[in-house]
Chain A
Amino acid sequence: MFGDFDFQVIFDNLDILWDGMLITFLLTAVAIVGGILFGTVLALMRLSKFTPLSILAGRYVDAFRSTPLILVIFWFYFAMPIIGLEAIGGLGSVLIAFTLFEAAYYCEIIRAGIQSITRAQVDAGLAVGLTKGQTMRFVVLPQAFRNMVPVLLTQAIVLFQDTSLVYVVGLKDFLTAADLIAVRDNRVVELYLAAAVVYFVLCIIASLWVRKLQRQYAI
């Protein structure tokens, strides 16, 4: 069945594919770090007793979670130049879009993690004389993050796959690079299947690792 196919084209273009993979990794890394940092802030806002803050964070999360990622990418990609921020460029605006989008998802994971810590832990922290902030910083968050690690990483795997959507604005990530070669050399079948194998292998290794971690980390 594969008689007519020529998989040599993949090895001839490894450098282009690798450059694409670097962009994919960059997007994933920035969105994970930025998303978790901003997501933590959002989660703390949502849990805050100050109502306007928690409503604001709630609206933010609802808005991003009910909008498709592609539309969010379009928003930032097209809006940045119009509001006078051409300097950010295509990659920059996509990085911002991913970070803000992922923060909404991370916020929900982190909020659930914080809420999984029993009330007694907070009371104990306050009782030994820690301030509210210190209780959060030294008692609640460390335990919460430990509980959350597997879910955060699973979300990271989803995010890694989602970075392929930058294709819609023509940013050269791994999938777009494969697509460019596929169209240029008329080798669509070979390149798409090869790209699928690469994504599959990377994701399955990562998810097996997360599963192992899950068993080790369980409190």
Chain B
Amino acid sequence: MAMKYNWDWSILLCRSPEADPIGAVEPTTPGSGSTEFGGGAGQTFDTGAECAQPYFEWIVSGLSWTVIVASAAWVITFSLGSVIGVSRTVENRTVRAIATAYVEIFRNVPLLLQMFIWFFVVPELLPEDAGRWIKRELPLPEYWTAIVCLGMYHASRTAEQVRAGIESIPRGQTHAGLAMGLTRTQVYRYVLLPVSYRIIIPPLTSDFMGIFKNSSVALTIGVMELTAQSRQIAEYTFNIFEVFTAATLCYMTVTLIVVTIMRFVEARVRIPGTIALGGD
């Protein structure tokens, strides 16, 4: 298995034959017409078209879409997940049953299929006007769909963390709160939720990382995020090793940054007297 492959990192500086489809990055510096860096395989695409961009800008554009989609989805995940997680712990049976059904449905259907259903099936099942609005008038429909889908999919996981956090608090605390004259809502607001959020920061962090990575699934409905962009560059240039390495490094860097920040946050909000972190 002799390796017949010419590594050529300058490919990322080469200009592409056409613009980044989503156009998130402004067309680059005019004047520098063609591929001045072009070596190796890149020479094939000596274009000089006005809209041409170096490939690394596609990667930057992809990375920013990944971060935007993941962050927006996380807002949905966190709010909806909290509501559903709390609903699973209340006394009302109907509320609990609805929340449980939500979690089971969204956890047990593959994300990719959910993506397809949100994108292709939901507009068909909605009232005609709403369906047409989504298909025709909503700007960037794939991006909104991906955000809603990712958000609702991961909400089922976050809900389980929130529930576990609340259930890990000894019943005595609820009773103490009620005995002091707090209403049930106040017990949640002032006793249960503040404590449980502090406990579940590590699993919430890994949930966020899950959303970040799973945003790549959105490429199947046409979202030009990082993986999609790197795949596209690979198709144009065939320099797959450089391109996929660059994308992998982007994912690893963001992961490292988030994990480092969250470790700091975790240490700051740690409940004194618990062994949550490091056990000291």
A167 to B111: give the CA distance in the assembly, Å: 12
Indicate if the CB atoms of A196 and B117 lie closer than 8 Å: yes
Q: Which of A71, A161, A164 contacts B216 (CB 8 A)?
A: A71
In the docked arrangement, what's the CA distance between A79 and B5, Å? 10
B120 within 8 A of A: yes
Query: Given A68, A74, A79, A193, which contacts B251 in the complex, CB threshold below 8 Å?
Result: A68
Contact assessment for A75 and B244 in the assembled complex, using a CB-CB cutoff below 8 Å:
yes
**Complex Cα–Cα for A24 and B121 (A):** 23
In the complex, are the beta carbons of A165 and B121 less than 8 A apart?
no
**Which of B12-20, B84-92, B143-151, B227-235 has 4 or more CB atoms under 8 Å from chain A?**
B227-235
Q: How far is the CA of A78 from the CA of B240 in the complex (A)?
A: 7
Majority SS at the chain A contact face = helix
Q: Which residue numbers of B lie inside 8 Å of A, CB to CB?
A: 1-5, 104-105, 107-114, 116-117, 120-121, 124-125, 209, 213-217, 219-220, 227, 230-231, 234, 240-241, 244, 247-248, 251-252, 255-256
Among B3, B108, B241, max chain A CB count under 10 A is at B108
Q: Is A74's CB under 8 angstroms from B116's CB?
A: no
Evaluate contact between B113 and A199: CB separation under 8 angstroms: yes
Cβ A192 vs Cβ B213 within 8 A: no
A sample of 16 more A-B contacts (CB under 8 A), given A62-B252, A66-B256, A68-B217, is A67-B213, A70-B227, A71-B244, A71-B247, A71-B251, A74-B234, A82-B4, A83-B1, A84-B1, A84-B3, A161-B109, A168-B219, A175-B110, A179-B116, A188-B124, A196-B113
Q: Please tell me if the beta carbons of A83 and B125 are within 8 angstroms of each other in the complex.
A: no
Contacts of A199 in B (CB 8 A): 108-110, 113
Query: Which 9 residue pairs spanning A and B have beta carbons closest together?
Result: A66-B255, A203-B108, A68-B216, A84-B1, A161-B110, A68-B213, A164-B110, A70-B216, A78-B240
* A188 and B120 form a contact (CB under 8 A): yes
B244 & A192 in contact (Cβ 8 Å cutoff): no
Closest Cβ neighbor of A62 among chain B residues: B252
